Amino acid sequence: MQSLTHMRNSLRASRYIRDTRTNALGLGLAALIPLLATPILSRLYSPAEFGLFGIFFAATAITSGVGSGKYEVAIILNEAPLQALETAMAGVAVSLVTVAICVLAVLFWGGVQTVLPLEIALLAPLAILLMIQFNIALNCAIRARLFFALNVARALMAGAGAFGMVFLGLLGWGAKGLALGLIAGQCVGLIALLVAEGRIYGASLPDLGWRGVLQQMRRFRDYPKFAVLSDLANAMALWLPFFVLPAVYGAAAAGFLLMFQRVWSASAIIGKGMGETFRQKAAEDLARDGNFRSVYRATFWAMLAVAVPAWLILVLAAPGLFAVMLGEEWREAGVYGQILATLVCVQFIASPLGWAVYIVERLRYNMVWQWSLLLLYLAAFAIGTTFFDARGALALYAATGAIMYAVYLGISYRMSAGISPAVKTP
C-alpha cells in the first residue's frame, strides 16, 4: 500500500516537473524573440518614442488586468470543462463593458489626449480587449494543462509582435508602430490559443448558457469584490513609474525604464511560467492533501536559483551590456537596471508564489497588501521627485518595493499551509 502511494506521489511530482520544464522552455523561446529584436528596435525608435509606448502599454496593462472582473483567475478552480467555460464567459461579459467604457473615455475625456496623441489613444481599447481575452484563454489552457499549446501561442505572439514593430519602425511610424505591433502579436497569439483549446472545451459549447454563467458569477463573487481592487492596486503600483517619470523628468526617462523592462522580461517571463505550473499543482495538492507547502518550497528554490545570478549580472554589468547591445544612447537604461536589481529579483520570486493567496481564496489579505504597496510607492515618489533626480527617485521606489515583496513572500508561505476556503475572514 505504501509503495503504491509512493508511486502515485512520484508520478504527480514528475508530471509537475515535466509541465514546469515544458512551460519554462516555451516561455524562454517566447522571451528570446523580442529580446533578439530589441537591438533593432533600439535603433529604429528613440527613447522618447519608447516612453510614449510605455505610457500606452501601462494604461492598457492596468485596465486589462482588472477589466474582466478577475473571473479568469477562478477558471482553474472548476473541475468540469463546462463550469470553466461558464466562468470564462463571465470574464468575457465584464470585459465588453470595460472596453465600451474605455472607448467613451478616449473619445470624450480630454484628459486622455493630454497624455497620449489621439491616434495612439484610439488603439488602447482594442489592445485592452485582446489582452483580456488572451488572459482568459491562458487560464483555460492552464486548467487543462495545455502548456505546450500555450507556449506555441506565446511564441507566435512574440514573433508577430516583434515583426510588426520592426516593419512599422522601418516605415517611420514612431510610437504608433510599437502599439500596432503589440496588437498584431496579440491577435495571432489569441487565435492560436483558441484553436488549441477547441478539442478540450469544444464539446461543452452547446451546453453553455447564461444561467450557468450567472451561477459562476455568484459562486466567485469575491473576485470582482476583492481581487479587482487588489489587482488594480498592484497594476497601478507596477506601472506607476511610467506616469511619474515622464511627468517630472520627461518621456525619455520612461523610455529608458521600458527598455530595461523589455530586456528583463526575458527573465521575468520564466517566473510567469513557473507561476502558471505552480498554480495548477498547488490547487491540485490543496484539494488532495489540504496544503501545498511542498510544491511551494520546490518552486521557491527554483526561482532563487535563477534570481541570484540575474541580480549579480544587473548589479555588476548592466550599463555596459546595454550600451554594447543597444547602443550608447541606451546606457542609462542599464543604470536603471542596476538601481532596480534587488526589487525585480525579489519580485521575480514573490510574484508567482503570491498565487497562494488566490488558491486558498484569502483575497482580503491580498487587497490590504496591494493597497499598502501602492500607497508606499506614492509616498516614495512624492519624496523622491521632490528631493532627487530620476535615479534617486527610482532608488527610493525600488527599496520600498523590495521590502514589501519580501513581506509578501512571508504571507504567501503561511498560506501554503492550506487555509480552508470555507474558513474566510468575515
Q: Is 404 in contact with 370 (CB distance < 8 Å)?
A: no
One-letter identity of residue 317? A
* 229 or 132, greater pLDDT: 132
Output the CA torsion 145→73→287→349 (10° steps): 80
Q: Rounded to an integer, what distance in angstroms lies between the CA atom of residue 360 and that of residue 363?
A: 8
Least confident of 37-51, 106-120, 303-317: 106-120
Summarize pLDDT for 225-245 with one digit per residue, the tens: 877 888 888 889 989 999 999
Per-residue three-class SS string for 207-254: HCCHHHHHHHHHHCCHHHHHHHHHHHHHHHHHHCHHHHHHHHHCHHHH
For the segment 63-79, what is each residue's pLDDT rounded down to a tens digit? 998 999 999 988 988 88
**Encoded amino acid at 212, one letter:** G
Residue 114 confidence class, pLDDT cut points 50, 70, 90: confident
Q: Is the pLDDT of residue 424 over 70?
A: no
Q: What pLDDT score was predicted for residue 132?
A: 97
Q: What is the pLDDT at residue 422?
A: 39
Model confidence pLDDT, tens digit, residues 74-98? 898 888 899 999 999 999 999 999 9
- The predicted-structure confidence for 386-407, as pLDDT tens digits, reads as follows 999 999 999 999 999 999 999 9
CA distance 253 to 251: 5
pLDDT the model gives residue 234: 83
Highest mean pLDDT among 8-12, 76-80, 312-316, 361-365: 312-316
- Helices 2-44 and 147-170, packing angle to 10 deg: 0
Buried b (16+ CB within 10 A) or exposed e, 62-101: bbbbbbbbbbbbbbbbbeebbbbbbbbbbbbbbbeebbee
Q: Comparing 123-132, 252-261, 266-275, 356-365, which segment has the lowest mean pLDDT?
A: 266-275
Confidence of residue 351 (pLDDT cuts 50, 70, 90): confident
Q: How far apart are CA 205 and CA 177, in angstroms?
A: 37
Q: Which of 27-41, 252-266, 358-372 has the highest mean pLDDT?
A: 252-266
What is the mean pLDDT of the segment spanning 22-44? 80
Q: Are 272 and 352 in contact (CB under 8 A)?
A: yes
pLDDT, residue 19, reads 65
Phi first, then psi: what are they for 240, rounded to 5°? -55, -45
CA distance 342 to 315: 9
pLDDT at 27: 67
Report d(CA 268, CA 352) in Å as an integer. 10
Q: What is the mean pLDDT of residues 245-264?
A: 91
CA end-to-end distance (rounded Å), the chain = 42
- What CA–CA distance (Å, rounded) separates 160 from 189? 8
Q: What percent of the chain has pLDDT over 70?
A: 90
Question: Which pTM value belongs to this model?
Answer: 0.78
Nearest alpha carbon to residue 213 among 98, 100, 78, 102: 78
As a whole number of angstroms, the distance between CA 100 and CA 106 comes to 10
Q: How confident is the model at residue 318 (pLDDT cuts 50, 70, 90)?
A: very high
* pLDDT for residue 165: 97
Q: How confident is residue 268, by pLDDT bands cut at 50, 70 and 90?
A: low
Higher pLDDT: 215 or 352? It is 215
Rounded distance, CA 129 to CA 131, Å? Answer: 6
Residue 109 or 392, more confident: 392
179-205 per-position pLDDT tens digit = 999 999 999 999 999 999 998 898 888
In this prediction, residue 354 has a pLDDT band, given cuts at 50, 70 and 90, of confident
329 pLDDT higher than 60? yes
Nearest Cα to Cα of residue 234 among 396, 364, 358, 65: 65
Cell of 319: 550599463
Query: Among all chains, which residue has been given the C-alpha cell 509582435?
Result: 161
